């Protein structure tokens, strides 16, 4: 397979932070109550756990992607579909290995129950991430206007803004 063409994005650090922060806040707000109900735990316990997992995922994402980028630079592979699948599975496997012992300890549950909980979280996050990013992409011009607050048009014309 060939590498897909790059889509130009001029995302500032401010926008990247806003995107990630909103992603995590909404996910915690949706996930913690459902997980508390499903696990028979308090909203506080699940809220803290999901917030800590979100923080761990953020840090793990930076570490994992930096390492992945180094491997890519060293071995010169192309980011085709197969590499993207390996990348995604590697990220999730690493996160699972970090989160399961933490969840088992925090909730005072077995490693198996923590594993089941983690699988449920992954099953939540996969469609959530897809839908969140789809919605964000569609609302990005309004988000950028809000983040820019009175600055000159922060978005150069792109196919996404032209075809609306």
Across the 164 residues of the chain, what is the mean pLDDT of every consecutive 10-residue run?
Answer: 48 80 91 93 94 91 87 85 87 92 96 94 89 88 77 50 42
Residues 125 and 61: their CA atoms lie apart, in Å, by 14
pLDDT for residue 149: 66
CA of residue 91 relative to chain centroid, distance: 11
Give pairs for 44-47: CB < 8 Å, separation 24+.
45/106, 45/107
Q: What integer pLDDT is reported at residue 163 of this predicted model?
A: 42
User: What is the 8-class DSSP label of residue 131?
Assistant: H
Per the listing, tokens 């917030």 go with 51
CA distance 28 to 36: 11
The helix/strand/coil state of 129 is helix
Q: How far apart are CA 153 and CA 150, in angstroms?
A: 8
* Side-chain-side CA neighbours of residue 12 (13 Å): 10
Q: What is the DSSP letter of 40?
A: T
Closest CA to 120 of 30, 26, 19: 30
CA distance 144 to 24: 19
């Amino acid at each position: 397979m060939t590498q897909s063409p790059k889509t130009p994005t001029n995302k500032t650090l401010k926008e990247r932070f806003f995107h990630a922060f909103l992603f995590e806040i909404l996910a915690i707000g949706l996930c913690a109550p459902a997980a508390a109900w499903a696990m028979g735990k308090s909203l506080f316990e699940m809220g803290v756990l999901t917030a800590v997992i979100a923080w761990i995922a953020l840090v793990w994402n930076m570490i994992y992607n930096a390492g992945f980028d180094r491997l890519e630079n060293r071995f010169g592979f192309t980011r085709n579909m197969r590499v993207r699948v390996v990348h995604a599975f590697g990220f999730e496997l690493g996160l699972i290995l970090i989160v399961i012992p933490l969840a088992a300890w925090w909730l005072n549950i077995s490693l198996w129950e923590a594993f089941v909980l983690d699988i449920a979280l992954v099953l939540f996050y996969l469609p959530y991430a897809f839908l969140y990013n789809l919605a964000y992409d569609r609302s990005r011009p309004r988000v950028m206007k809000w983040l820019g607050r009175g600055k000159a048009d922060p978005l150069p014309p792109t196919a996404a803004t032209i075809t609306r």
